[in-house]
Structure 1
Amino acid sequence: IKTMAAYTSGGNKLHMAYSFNLLTAEHSAAYIRKQVEELEAQIADGWGCWSFGNHDVARVQTRWGGPGASPEYAKVIVAALLSLRGSACLYQGDELALTEAEIPFEKLQDPYGITFWPEFKGRDGCRTPMPWVSTQPQAGFSNGRDVEPWLPVPPEHAANAVDVNEANPNSVLHFYRRFLAWRKTQRSLVTGGIRFIDAPEPVLALVRTPAAGEPGPAVLAAFNLGGDAVTVNLGATPPSRAFEGHGFDGARQGLREGTQLRLPAYGAYFGDISA
């Protein structure tokens, strides 16, 4: 974090620096907050880049969500990622809520996995082909039944291919699109400052404030990273008007009444506290 700050501050160095600090097995709300606050304390006018997944770690849907994680979990964690100050990297397949693949030893390509099997199965589980069409050979990634890609396509990935997501208006893929489009309309989420609000696990709560000279309201954002409904006391946080259009509609949208914020399982709340 100290190196990130040194190489991006001052306006005459790198535009941003990529952080590995959220590619961990640890994923509590307190841990996420700690990583961001530590960077913010040092980076000043520099700029970070956050990611929850890449080609070197187990897929976040499995690594953080655990076995059988709900697609709703994939939605709330990407919304949280895209609400942090800094740029974000989205890893291919996360927009389909793909899980870590189990690759047979004879199909492994990663030298580390081959060498250290079975104690360490390598990184191939997150590197499998992108599944495009569920009914086609290799889920549409390669043409022809006799063409074998570098790594196999797991059946559970084919069942959650792009075409399956496209056909479901409530899919993770459609949520990604809706949330990203809405985020573009909120300058505070794109370029603004950040401060966190004390909240019990598994809630991550924060306020994004407009950058100097930028239009738009301050945004209160709260995310329930757990599978049970929870009520949070927002204390002295100013009143807010709930935003719409971000994709957390109906049963997944939080409800604020005074200082109390009720968040459903894997739900979120976005409010305009400038209203």
Structure 2
Amino acid sequence: MVKVSHVRIGVQIAPQHASYQQIRDAVVELEQLGVDVLFNWDHFYPLSGEPDGLHFEGWTMLGAWAEQTTNVEFGCLVTCNSYRNADVLADMARTVDHISAKGGESGRLIFGIGAGWFQRDYDEYGFEFGTPGRRLDALAEAMPRIEARWAKLNPVPTRKIPVLIGGGGEKKTLRIVAEHADIWHSFSDLDTLKRKKAILAEHCEAVGRDFSEITLSSGFGSSDPAEAGDALLEEGVRLFTIGISGPDYRSSLDTIKKALAWRDRV
């Protein structure tokens, strides 16, 4: 196999059905194992299991992870654009970026964002759910504001904060990815990824963006990371994420270790 550089393994720690101590312990163990990126998510209720089970808010948690960790990158997979003023969100991200900078190094935040989809979050917390199109329009409006606010803040972020945009809407989402994202997380299977990757390349050409500047990101979609990873690698994916959920985050350790071993071979 030809050696491929810059392959990274991420783990999304779903902040549900677990105490915060269990989440914190999972972060410690995963960083020690050598995981490259840790994600949580930006929801207010569990997405699986008991609908009213234990759950914690994501961005507050990122501030704790920034202080707790030393090497791993981290972020939300993904922030819901609807829940916060765009300029305030930019300031939150800048602050977490600085908290995570250790020993004069740059910060480690990955700014994952999307248009939102889980209606219960909106209804319970008093946000207007609207339509998918309107939520995507709001994301398109927010991204330039976020970028402009980063440039105005004092101090500015420690680095160009990588923007990860999640979703696969062909007309609007992928256009926003082409205009603003450093990483595109497809949330799709392999065949869908192939097709939408071509559409993203067309959007990049339309906006004058080099498609190769965007890192492709995906879940493995298989219990065998090596088998799934090889196929995704052929399509240009370089960030691979495994999702784990409470209460027993350690139940997925074998899969994570296999993924890390595969990363180190390719």
The reply to whether TM is greater than 0.5 is: no
| Bigger RCO of structures 1 and 2 (CA < 8 A, at least 6 apart) | 2
- TM-score (ref. length: structure 2): 0.28
Q: Which of the pair has more CA radius of gyration?
A: 1
Give the TM-score, by structure 1 length. Answer: 0.28
The structure that is helix-richer by fraction is 2
